[in-house]
Amino acid sequence: MLTPEIDTFIMRMPKVEMHLHLEGTIMPGTLLELAQRNGVELPARDIVGVEQLFRYRNFAEFLTVYMALVRAIRSGEDFERLAYEAGTMLARQQVRYAEVMLSPMQHLNRVDLHEAIAGTAAGFQRVERETGLVVRLGLDYGRQYGPELAWEVLEIAQQAMKHGVVAWSIGGNEIGHPPEPFAEVFAAAKAAGLRLMAHAGEVVGPASVWGAVDALQSERLGHGIRSIDDANLVTYLSQRGVVLDICPSSNLWTGAARSWEAHPLRQLFDAGVPVTLNTDDPTFFHTTLIDEYRIAVRQFGFDVDDLCTLVLNGVRASFLPLHEQEPLLRRIEDELIALRQELGV
């Protein structure tokens, strides 16, 4: 039950965000301004019209809208603005650490990716100076483009590690694009020192998840909710500590879950699978990280102990080196204890 005390706890508690697409944080006003400045035609001419674009009935429709709108982002300066606005939004929600993905294939033919990554890093560095929020980056390759082009993007990712790129991932349309063909690319990313993630089990069943953990050796999975359809897979994820970065509102908006009642977050959590709570594309899915924690209480019956577990799961699953992860973990544990004592929850 979401009591006033628990709601206050949610708003003030330290948090981490482990599954967030930079492009999915763009505010309607910013999108409209960038499109006008960069000479990009949108199927809307004012804020109300742009807001109506953020409506879709299924995952395929969401992807179509997403790819159409990100065309407005054209320069390193644009990415810096997005990063600064996203980081400010996270800091206001008491987020202490975040890992943010860029989707390189949406920009490859329009923007110099080195410039885009440098601009993104600059925006987040400014936020860190102002608020203390730490952000690291990942490149999320669109699997529908096939493994051949991934090598070029991986080379850019390696060169961009100096800008805080720590992770390599695949996203995009799971249907017809299984993980296995990307095994060599992922092995090369790991050898280069990048950590490994993959979107899997969002709209395709357990086979996609098995492919991501077996063939790709992914340490964390974006979504992974269809794992619930295979009891052996749930046991495997729990025993191996494979983390699922779950985004409940996203799953409902894209139709990956039919309803709150059908969403397996509670089942996966109770089965011992380490899960984190995230927003994915908060503008596109009309949510915030605070809202996702409220949903965990209202829709899934999570209590304060459970909420703390979700946060600490995120810290432990982060791709920070241990000498940075351990003090962050201690800091957040101390903050959670002090806040619980203050609020009596």
State whether residue 344 is helix, strand or coil.
Answer: coil
Burial grade of 151 (CB within 10 A; 0-12, 13-18, 19 or more)? exposed
Active site residue 219: no
Encoding tokens for residue 69? 């709108």
Quick count: other Cβ atoms within 10 Å of Cβ 272? Answer: 13
d(C-alpha 195, C-alpha 233), whole Å: 22
Torsion angle in degrees (nearest 10) through CA of 309, 315, 316, 321: -170
Asked if residues 71 and 108 have their Cβ atoms less than 8 Å apart, the reply is: no
Closest CA to 54 of 41, 70, 40: 70
Tell me, what amino acid is at 242? Answer: V
d(C-alpha 160, C-alpha 137), whole Å: 9
Among residues 115, 202, 292, 324, the one annotated as catalytic is 202
What's the CA angle centered on 202, arms 217 and 139, to 5 degrees? 55
Half-sphere exposure (CA, 13 Å, Cβ side) for 267? 15
Q: Which residues contact 152 (CB under 8 A, 6 or more apart)?
A: none
Element at 221 (helix H, strand E): strand 220-223
Catalytic residues: 202
